[in-house]
Each structure stands twice: as C-alpha cells, then as structure tokens.
C-alpha cells in the first residue's frame, strides 16, 4: 500500500509542478470561459431569446445558466491538455518508464487522472470566484455540493483524454484530433442552451446532445450547484468513465503496443 501512495503522490506532485511552471496555461484556462461568460452570453441570449430559463422550479438568467457548462469547458480543455502531456511524455520516453514500473498499469493511469482532475477543480473554483465578482454567484452550499460532481466529471473527461492520447502516434497530430473532439462535445451539449431549446431546432440534434457524455457531466455539475443530485446524469458519467478507462487500459497495454510496432 505504501508503494501505491508513493506513486500517487509523485504523479500528483509532478503534475502540480508542471502546472505551476506553465502559468500561461492557468490564465488561458480562465480567459476562455470568461470571454464566453461576459461577451458571448449577451449575444447568445439575444439570439435565442433566453433572458430567463426555468430549469429547477426557479428562474435564472442566461449567464447563470451557462456557468456549469463553462465549468465543464474548463475540465474538458484541461483533460485534453493533460492527454497532450502524455503524448509528449511518450515521445520523450518517460511514459514508457512509468508504465514499466512494478505497480499495476491501471493504478498509474488512475493516479494520472486524479492529478489532472485536481488541477481542473482548482481552475473551476477560481473561475467560480471570478464569476461571483461579476455578480453571477450560486447558492453558498452549492460550492460544496459541486465538488463530488467535479471529481466525477473530471475523471470521466480525463479518461476520454487517455483514450485519445493512446491512439496518437505523433505529437503534431494531436491538435487536430483534440479540436475534432472538443468542439463537437461542447457545442452539441446542454452547456450553452437547454435541450428543449435544441429540440425546437432539430429533434435529431437534441437526441445527439442527449447521448453526449459531456451533456450529462454538465447537468451533474448544474444540479449540484443548486444542491440537487441528478442520478441519471451520475449514472451516465460513471458509465462513460468505466468505458473510457477500459479503453485507456487497452490502449496503454505494453504488449499491445509491442504488437503494433511489429
């Protein structure tokens, strides 16, 4: 057990130091959702006619509605950036050394996921604090209730990033693949507009959004911020994490990698 904790501590500290040394990454992770919150929200609200939205027996402004989606955006981009670092580590050889340690491969990958999730949660709480300065605040207890939801969604999105990184052979190809995943997942979800509004435009698009795991991650965060538990969204997030984690374990199987090289 001591060896497991030592490995977890080492991986988390390595990710934390890497994050601290990349301050531009921290500011970029905040600028992106703040631009959406302050600038684009006004345009989307006017275009969609969504001055107020009644999702939970109450009426909220459009800016408040999209805050959970922007929290998910932060975690999604952080998951992709963490997977980018895995591709870089694999090219440099450090990933190979990590996976050849005597500890189970699943624990090593899970430790990497926990490290990336911890970084994304820090970014989300800083974003929520800045949003509160703009007058967009949530129920006080919601900031506590949302923590388990952020852990679950961060692990699920991080596992997706692991699957993607296991399929990338060269670092140069990652940017295109990342954009191909991030933007469809974000825009075809309930992050910016409710599903009932999507159904008015296209029932097929609404069904696609309902099948998107990111939609359920956003809904899990949204309900948690209002001190509610969305069991259906939680099952989707946990199920998606299980599938993605299984795919990551297969993708980072050294034996499979050896067969591929042959």
pLDDT tens-place string over residues 92-137: 656 666 666 667 777 778 888 888 898 889 889 999 998 888 888 7
Q: Is the dihedral of CA 61, 71, 174, 260 positive or negative?
A: negative
Residue 51: what are its φ and ψ, rounded to 5°?
A: -75, -35
pTM: 0.83
Query: Does residue 250 contact residue 256 with C-beta atoms inside 8 Å?
Result: yes
What whole-number distance in Å separates Cα of residue 90 and Cα of residue 199?
A: 43
pLDDT class for 261, splitting at 50, 70, 90? Answer: very low
What are 28-87's pLDDT values in tens digits?
A: 767 778 877 777 766 665 555 555 455 444 456 777 888 899 999 999 988 888 777 776
What's the helix, strand, coil split of the chain in %, to 5? 80, 0, 15
In sequence order, the 6+-apart residues with CB closer than 8 A to the CB of 174 are 83, 84, 87, 165, 168
In sequence order, the 6+-apart residues with CB closer than 8 A to the CB of 96 are 90
Question: Which residues make beta-bridge pairs with 61?
Answer: 52
């Amino acid at each position: 057990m001591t060896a497991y904790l030592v490995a977890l501590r080492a991986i988390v500290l390595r990710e934390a130091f890497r994050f601290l040394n990349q301050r531009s990454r921290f500011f970029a992770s905040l600028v992106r959702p703040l631009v959406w919150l302050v600038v684009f929200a006004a345009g989307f609200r006017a275009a969609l006619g969504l001055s107020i939205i009644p999702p939970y027996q109450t009426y909220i402004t459009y800016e408040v509605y999209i805050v959970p989606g922007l929290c998910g955006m932060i975690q999604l981009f952080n998951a992709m950036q963490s997977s980018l670092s895995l591709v870089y580590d694999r090219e440099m050889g450090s990933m190979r050394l990590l996976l050849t340690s005597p500890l189970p491969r699943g624990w090593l990958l899970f430790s990497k996921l926990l490290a990336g999730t911890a970084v994304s949660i820090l970014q989300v709480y800083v974003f929520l604090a800045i949003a509160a300065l703009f007058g967009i605040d949530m129920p006080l207890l919601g900031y506590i209730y949302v923590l388990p939801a952020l852990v679950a969604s961060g692990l699920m999105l991080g596992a997706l990033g692991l699957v993607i990184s296991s399929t990338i052979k060269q670092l140069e190809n990652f940017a295109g693949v990342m954009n191909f995943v991030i933007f469809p997942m974000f825009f075809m979800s309930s992050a910016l507009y409710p599903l009932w509004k999507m159904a008015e435009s296209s029932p097929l698009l609404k069904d696609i959004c309902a099948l998107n795991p990111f939609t359920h991650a956003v809904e899990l965060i949204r309900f948690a911020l209002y001190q509610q538990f969305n069991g259906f969204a939680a099952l989707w997030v946990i199920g998606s994490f299980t599938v993605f984690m299984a795919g990551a374990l297969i993708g980072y199987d050294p034996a499979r990698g050896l067969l591929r090289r042959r």
